[in-house]
Homo-oligomer: A and B are copies of this chain.
Amino acid sequence: MEHVNPGGLGSPPASISVGEEIYALAERLFPICRSITGDGVRRTLDILSGHIDLERHEVPTGTQVLDWTVPREWNIRSASITGPDGQTVVDFADSNLHIVNYSVPFTGILPLNELKAHIHTLPEQPQVIPYRTCYYAPTWGFCMAYDRVAKMSDGLYRVEIDAELKDGSLTYGEYLHCGRTEREFLLSAHICHPSLANDNCSGLALLATLAKSLKARKTRYSYRFLFAPGTIGSITWLSRNEDRTHLIDHGLVLSCVGDAGSPAYKRSRRGEAFIDRAMAHVLRREAGAKLMDFSPYGYDERQYCSPGFNLPVGMFQRSVHGTFPEYHTSADNLDFIKPEYLEDSFRILTDVIDIVEDDRTPLSLCPKGEPQLGRRGLYAALGGQASSGATSMSLLWVLNLADGQHSLLSMAERSGLPFRELAAAARLLSDHGLLAAAS
């Protein structure tokens, strides 16, 4: 699979589906120990740069970003606990989830009971490792399977955390696909989680693949792809781009897009923004799809939808974060995501992009009575049948609502017909001189 090798820029062999392409990319991102700063983010951006021309930003520690300050940069080389018997109890090398992300460096010997105050487990899921962070607290900790901790005998344990917290920078990547206008569609995924496949190797890989697929397409909108650490990353971007946010007409945050759950969309704070209506339309016939109202808890839509910005940015995922047992544990691994689900998520995004690109407010040039479709070859010549079929219905709906007050998406909402079909009908009617040139 040459295309996913480092630096490999060629197209994938035709035999590989887009779902497999996304999966392969997620697979490469998975092992890296990411955090909100540090070399893990940079290595991740290196790999993504093999697919798209990423612009990379480094924002120094101490920079004021809105109400926040860019923290010291964190890097870790190794971390382990050695037992009274000299055996290694837990080793960062086995799983980067073992260390509480942003743990301060520490070397010392502790009795078990003191050590336990630094160990996090999930008693209800005794075999999996939880994921924990301590970004803004000067502490350290380990995450372990509950069963493993239960077997630890009394005695003195040696802890070694070879980490580094020092002035450096926060790193994020950005890619802009330029369209005919500078109005933007923002697509954003958090890049700060270590080895969690769905949350969010899936989102990173999907976005990069989508960005790559847009290269060949001339679009009306410009598409901005943002790969930044959660919370502090989007806050940093907003802080540095306050004067550009008015250009954002549509936006989506992506996370957890590779699991078997049905697709889910969380509306923007506005609730009825175009992106909210377009996503609702795309998901309306997906079995089990969930539409949720905005709430200020979740991913970076929290920042984009803060009241001072109030951008039309929703959030797309499959299983809803915090509701599936694999969430934020070692069970969110490469078995938990599948090419077919990644592909389904990819299709949903391209469908919504098609709506954003193709929506028009057509104007009928023959608004009084129906035009005679038959003499234009647009209608079954033999009347009197029970149904004229879906295509005829699309033509009739577009003609009936082409009063300058209804966009194609409004028509889709009112008629219950697919946007795609109405867009096709509008093209056909334009070709026959029945609609004015698109506005």
Query: Which residue numbers of A lie inside 8 Å of B, CB to CB?
Result: 66-68, 100-101, 130-137, 231, 234-235, 238-239, 242, 269, 295-297, 302-303, 305-310, 322, 327-328, 364, 366-372, 374-375, 381-388, 392-393, 396-397, 399-403, 415
Contact of A269 among B67, B305, B400 (CB under 8 A): B400
Given A308-B369, A400-B269, A386 and B328 contact (CB-CB distance below 8 Å): yes
Q: Which residues of B contact A231 (CB under 8 A)?
A: 370
Given contacts A136-B381, A322-B386, A384-B132, contact A305 B400 (CB under 8 A): yes
Chain B: minimal CB distance from A370 (Å):
6
A328-B386, A400-B269 in contact; A309/B369 too (CB < 8 A)?
yes
Contact A368 B328 (CB under 8 A): no
Residue from B136, B369, B386, B388 in contact with A238 in the complex, judged by beta carbons closer than 8 Å: B369
Partner of A370, one of B303, B370, B397, B402: B303
Determine if B368 and A306 form an interchain contact, defined as CB atoms under 8 angstroms apart. yes
- The residue from B133, B327, B367, B375 contacting A308, defined by CB atoms under 8 A apart: B367
A306 to B367 Cα, complex, angstroms: 6
Given A131-B384, A384-B328, also A364-B136 (CB < 8 A): no
Please give, as numbers and ranges, the residues of chain B lying within 8 Å of A374 by CB-CB distance: 136-137
The reply to whether B399 and A296 form a contact with Cβ atoms under 8 Å apart is: yes
User: Main SS of the interface on chain A?
Assistant: loop
Q: Which of the residues B131, B239, B305, B370 comes within 8 Å of A306, measured between beta carbons?
A: B370
Q: Which residues of B contact A372 (CB under 8 A)?
A: 67-68, 136
Asked whether A68 lies within 8 Å of B369 as measured between CB atoms, the reply is yes
Tell me if B369 and A306 are in contact (CB < 8 A).
Answer: yes
Once the chains are docked, how many angstroms separate the CA of A135 from the CA of B379?
Answer: 13
Report the separation of the CA atoms of residues A310 and B406 in the bound assembly, to the nearest whole angstrom: 14
Q: What are 26 inter-chain pairs, A to B, with CB distance below 8 A?
A: A67-B369, A68-B372, A132-B382, A132-B383, A133-B382, A133-B384, A134-B382, A136-B372, A137-B382, A234-B369, A235-B370, A238-B368, A239-B369, A242-B368, A295-B397, A296-B399, A296-B400, A297-B396, A302-B396, A306-B367, A306-B368, A306-B370, A307-B400, A307-B401, A307-B403, A308-B368
Task: Name 9 extra pairs, CB < 8 A, besides A306-B367, A306-B369.
Answer: A100-B382, A132-B383, A132-B385, A295-B393, A296-B400, A305-B400, A306-B400, A307-B400, A322-B387
Closest Cβ neighbor of A405 among chain B residues: B307
